[in-house]
Copies of this chain bind each other. A is one copy, B any other.
Amino acid sequence: MLTKKAKYGLKAMVHLAGVRPGETALVAEIAAANQIPKKFLDAILGELRNAGFVHSKKGKGGGYMLARPPEDIGVGNIVRTLDGPLAPIQCASKTVYRRCDDCADETRCAVRLVMLRAREAIADVLDKTSLEQMRRLGAGDDSVRLLVGAEL
């Protein structure tokens, strides 16, 4: 389950992908537009800044902006930054693998073997979708739908 942190973070990133390049958006503005508690969003954007996804500027005319064009930002990596690995279980993660302490032989752990496949499936969606594609989905731009996945 995606936490609210990642959900809010993704919404904020989509918002930022929607402002004209070079311009900034205020935290208060993003929070109001997306119904996100402002203080929480403060912390989330802080993390995204530390991870290098966004830049910030203080003072009048300040705010947040994307650090890179939205085509170059993968949705999966945003989620990883805020919620940790995509894998449903740590021992099935490729980026932040960690052995389960409650597993004698992990090569034969049925749960892990199934979750490896689940991880693969999730990553296949999130890592192949860019922030820009995600934004267009929400904008009702049908041209991306085929790229991202079948119509539901």
Contact = CB atoms under 8 A, between A and B. Distances in A.
Contact of A113 (B11, B34, B111, B137): B137
A14 B125 CA distance: 28
Q: Taking chain A's interface residues, is the majority helix, strand, or loop, or is none over half, making it mixed?
A: helix
A27 interface: no
B35 A89 contact: no
State the oligomeric state as a number of copies: 2
Contacts of A109: 138
Given A116-B152, A117-B149, A149-B117, A102 B140 contact: no
Q: How large is the interface on A (under 10, 10 to 19, 20 to 34, 35 or more residues)?
A: 35 or more
Among A14, A84, A114, the most chain B Cβ lie within 10 Å of the Cβ of A114
